[in-house]
Structure 1
Amino acid sequence: MIRIACFLLAGLSLVTGVGAAADRPNIVVVLCDDLGYGDLANYGHPYIKTPYLDRMAKEGIRFTDFYSAAPVCSPSRVGMMTGRSPNRAGVYDWIPPGTQRREDRRDLVHMRASEVTIPQLLKQAGYATAMAGKWHCNSMFNTPEQPQPGDAGFDHWLATHNNASPSHANPVNYVRNGEAVGEIEGYSCQIVVDEGIRWIDGLRKYSAGQPFFLYLAFHEPHEPVASPEELTASYRDVAFSEKEAEYFANVENVDRAVGRLLAYLKESGVDEDTLVIFTSDNGPETLNRYERSSRSWGRADPLRGMKLWTTDAGFRVAGIMRWPRQIESGQVSDEVVSALDFLPTFCELADAEVPAGLELDGANFLPALEGEAIQREKPLVWAFYNALNEQQLAMRDGDWKVLGRLGLARTSNVGAHNIDEIAAAPLVDVEIYNLRYDIGEARNIAGSHPELAERLTQKLKEQYAALLEGSHVWE
């Protein structure tokens, strides 16, 4: 059970020195960008080779029903960091640079200073904290006008606002602790792992035994894709085109980066006491959806839809965890787990204090590591007003997936200009699927099971009403 107390008590319980990590685990989260549910060998891809992630799954647990906080990047990341639906933070879609005023007020959007984050809570509990990779949690990156990674609780950070530029190869747009670093040679996922390894090395040297939280946010396999030639060449015989070969190689390069990270943790003697989580921010991009997405060959098989959809392909993603000291190897679990669960779970592991009254949407996932059910007070709910499919609302409640349409024009933000229209929109055309038997959401059973449909429709209405009431509205 998570202890709830004031921050003063947390500040008095800082733990450093030899032995701390043995009592409380180190935590590493590796987050891919636009990785499809079916893009790894251990999730069924017929060609992409992912031997290190395959081994990670065999040495730990692989989840078949793991969900991100949103079907697109920025809200997914904010939800993961806060343990709350991103709507509560006012992050409804991807965040563009805030260089000019916009009618929909997206220039204002950011993870506000009032949000409570994982690194803040773990830092107060004595953890060292760091991130490297894609930030994408504000519109004004690396300026004092909005909170930056350091303000969110990271002691050390190397980040970009959005994508690696000009591509994953030799990016020029990284910023380290507020200072632009210029071009860095190599591929972004490898650069991110390099930064993480250097930071852990420094921590072990100057603060031996202090537990740490490390967040590695890969840009891969989001466009603009760039992959090592040796890997691309290995897929030309099986890929439909050169660009698909580049995508396949991009995912394998991610696998190699994870392999390097795991090897380092083992060589440094900390892997037994380190929980490593590998997942993605959302489902795969649709090929050629926009001008630069010609290499977006990600697969969501056997799910329906893609990124930006509220069907499962939009946010059901890979979820692999390894923690030798605690997780029995070789597990495959169909327990429903969400990135929203990270904050309450990590706080439990770290003996961190969660502020009284903080409305969380996730739950402690630790029971799932031992084959037991997660105790959720409420189902998982998504309200994504810019969905490419017709339904803006989705709910996962046990085996049931519920979709609902609001009849609104697509929008990327909620502000004074449209909140009245959104609040007045009725829920219509509810669809219900049993995901245990219909993973592809192909057989809508709402019409044939009226009592079930009435019960789940009412539940979605209640859950959405509560979420809407708690959502931030930009002025």
Structure 2
Amino acid sequence: MYKKIAIKASVVILVLLSVNNSWGQQIETIEKPNIVVFLCDDLGYGDLSSYGHPFIKTPNIDKLAETGIKMTNFYSAAPVCSPSRVGLLTGRSPNRAGVYDFIPGPKKSEDLRDQVHLQKGEETLPAMLKTVGYETALVGKWHCSSLFNNPAQPQPDYFGFDHWYATHNNASPSHQNPKNFVRNGEKVGQQEGFSCQLVVDEAMSWLDNRKGDNPFYLQVTFHEPHEPVASPEDLVQEYLPYSNGLAEAEFFANVANVDKAVGRLLDYLKENGADNTIVIFTSDNGPETFTRYPGAKRTFGQTGGLKGRKLWTTEAGIRVPGIVNWIGKPMFNGTTDAVVSALDFLPTLAEITGAQLPNRELDGESFLPLLKTGKFKRSTPLLWGFYNALNEHKVAMRHGDYKILARLKNEGEYLPQIMNVYEGNETLIKSSQLTDFELYNLMEDQAESVNLIDEKPELFIQMKSLLKTEYNSLLEGSHIWVKSE
């Protein structure tokens, strides 16, 4: 018998409610909400039925969107996993934390990638929420340190997670019967089942066994649909008639299995009294490229008409599904084209819970007005400096309806792909110039097909100037890795 989830936090926050149950001018006190963040791995913008996939059925996630807020201009912090996760946790560009690309295992390399990890000086979302009484847990993928489950680098508990059940990177040997999970520093060993379901099992077990009645923050970081893909046979058979062979059916079934896992946890919350819970669903980056590496043989994610894929600074690399639903409380309900980022979770949840923001420069901003009224216009641009981009333009900025991209050139040569910024290439990167600009109106041209530089010269000058200012500021604040003694 599941323990009822108590929602009896003694500390309250002020929110605005109107007489007709929409957000308005009447002040009412409510208890701090529980918070659940679902984060998929390599789920593309077009991989959910609510975002246009013609075959994959995702009824549980779709219902979240239907009864909450579906965001059509939602962005990850980076076009690849590790920096994206670091951005979500810190509310800061991952460049500031020195996480520029995915973090490999501890193999020595000239560019010091073996040292890369989320460092002790970083302040995170779960740590912030703990200061106002939250209990916290991470279940699923971590991928924020090169030395996983090693005291040489801080682990999830250091960054505010009371409980963690995680892997360094992918579920191994696949999503089925993984053997590389660690629970609070102890290896779990091989388990039976599929990763997303095991992760939800752990989440429900943690909720059952919590000792207090405090609100909770639960971060559910699925491995799916990242390779190595493995899916339940009954779902694979269900999708075979709609696919071009077994491999694609396995991918379709993989996303459908995630939806079932989400549904199980949402049913649990409903059955156990969580009637004041903010649920967020999103992805760490866009869909993988089919056969980009030998193991990527079931990477059939869809972009929804966006340009590029994972590891690109064009839209398909960074624009992902974004859904918010405040279960049990009045909020705006509908689809929005407001520009929102995973960087915004930390400041938004700080404002909702009354937590004090970290004393660091943040790149996100609160989108609480979106929950209140359905309207939100961010005041600062979104900027990406991804030096290992597969496309030519390593720098991109979204501001309002427009996006500007730029290449980097140094002494007449374009910068090669760079996986880390360290003392050996700091000068090269910081002395490079932004060049070969492209400008797009994403409200009219989400495929980034019509470069507007010549058509809108005044706007181009303004956007170029803003990009240079924002990028120079990011360079000044970026962490540079130095060889440790």
For the aligned pair, the TM-score class normalised by the smaller chain equals over 0.9
Contact 1:223 1:293 survives alignment (8 Å) = yes
Give yes or no for the alignment of 1:244 onto 2:252.
no
Q: Give the match for residue 3 of structure 1.
A: none
User: Which 4+ stretches in 1 moved above 6 angstroms?
Assistant: none
- Please state if 1:326 is matched with 2:325: no
Q: Tell me if 1:276 matches 2:279.
A: yes
Give the superposition deviation at 1:112. 0.2
Q: Aligned partners of 1:51 and 1:320: how far apart in 2?
A: 14
Residue of structure 2 in register with 1:235 after alignment:
239
Q: Which residue pairs with 1:217 in the alignment?
A: 221
8 Å CA contact retained: 1:220, 1:251:
yes
From the superposition, tell whether residues 54 and 376 of structure 1 become closer, same or farther in structure 2 (CA, over 3 Å): closer
User: Against the structure 1 CA distance between its residues 118 and 314, is the aligned structure 2 distance closer, same or farther, given a 3 Å change threshold?
Assistant: same
Residue of structure 1 equivalent to 2:318: 315
Deviation per CA, 1:66-110, whole angstroms, max 9, x where unpaired? 100000000000000000000000000000011x32101000000
Q: CA RMSD in A?
A: 1.4
Contact (CA 8 Å) 1:79, 1:339: kept in 2 or not? yes
Question: Percent of aligned pairs with the same residue?
Answer: 57
The residue that corresponds to 2:205 in the other structure is 198
Unmatched 5+ residue regions in structure 1?
Answer: 1-15
1:349, distance to aligned residue in structure 2 (A)? 1.5
Write the distance in 1 (CA, Å) between the matches of 2:294 and 2:208.
41
For the pair 1:267 / 2:271, whether they are aligned, the reply is yes
Could you tell me how far apart the structure 2 residues matched to 1:330 and 1:242 are? Answer: 38
Residue 121 of structure 2 is aligned with which of 79, 90, 114? 114
Residue 337 of structure 1: which of 335, 340, 351 is its match?
340
Q: Deviations over 1:396-449 (max 9, x none)?
A: 101001111112110100001101010111110110100111011111111221
Give the deviation of 1:372 after TM superposition: 4.5
Could you tell me which residue of structure 2 aligns to residue 207 of structure 1? 212
**CA positional deviation for 1:329:** 6.6
Deviations 1:199-228 (A, max 9, x none): 11112xx212x1110000000000000000
1:293 aligns with 2:284: no
**Which consecutive unaligned segments of at least 5 residues does structure 2 have?**
1-6, 13-29, 409-413
1:151-184 CA distance string (max 9 Å, x none): 1110000000000000000100000000001011
Aligned residues of 2:228 and 2:295 also touching (Cα < 8 A): yes
Q: Which amino acid aligns with 2:356?
A: E
3-state DSSP of counterpart to 2:403? strand
Verify: 1:157 aligned to 2:164, yes or no.
yes
TM-score (norm 2): 0.92
CA distance in 2, matches of 1:145, 1:330: 46
- Partner Cα distance (1:164, 1:364) in 2: 33
Which residue identity is paired with 2:200?
V
Deviations 1:446-473 (A, max 9, x none): 1221111111011101100000000000
Partner of 1:82: 90
Shift of 1:327: 4.7
Offset at 1:370? Answer: 3.1
Matched residues in 1 for 2:333 and 2:237: separation?
A: 32
Equivalent residues, number: 455
1:324 CA drift (Å): 2.8
- Mapped partners of 1:237, 1:87: distance in 2: 44
Whether contact under 8 Å (1:58, 1:329) holds in the other structure is: no
Asked whether 1:396 is paired with 2:401, we answer no
Instruction: Supply the distance in 2 between the matched residues of 1:20 and 1:197 (Cα, whole angstroms).
Output: 25
Task: Render the CA deviation track for 1:319-364: whole Å, top value 9, x for unaligned.
Answer: 11111333547411111110000110111122111234x1000000
